[in-house]
């Protein structure tokens, strides 16, 4: 909840990636690799993102 509180208050925060515990580890790794290779850190500043994507 801490990350959401910071976002709602408009405070600076680096991006947070949340991983679904029940997701297969291979899917998580594949999505993290895609996420890292296809984005820049500035794109997810102040956001909470969820892995796996689908």
Return phi, psi of residue 43, to 5°. -70, -25
Torsion sign over Cα 11, 13, 17, 18:
negative
What are the tens digits of pLDDT across the range 2-52?
888 888 898 888 888 888 888 999 999 999 999 899 999 888 888 888 888
pTM of structure: 0.68
In the prediction, which pLDDT does 1 show?
A: 65
In the prediction, which pLDDT does 6 show?
A: 86
In the prediction, which pLDDT does 42 show?
A: 87
């Amino acid at each position: 909840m801490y990350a959401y509180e910071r976002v709602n208050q408009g405070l600076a925060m680096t991006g947070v990636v949340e991983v679904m515990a029940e997701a297969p580890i291979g899917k998580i790794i594949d999505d993290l690799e895609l996420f890292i290779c296809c984005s820049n850190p500035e794109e997810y500043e102040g956001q909470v993102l969820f892995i796996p994507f689908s």
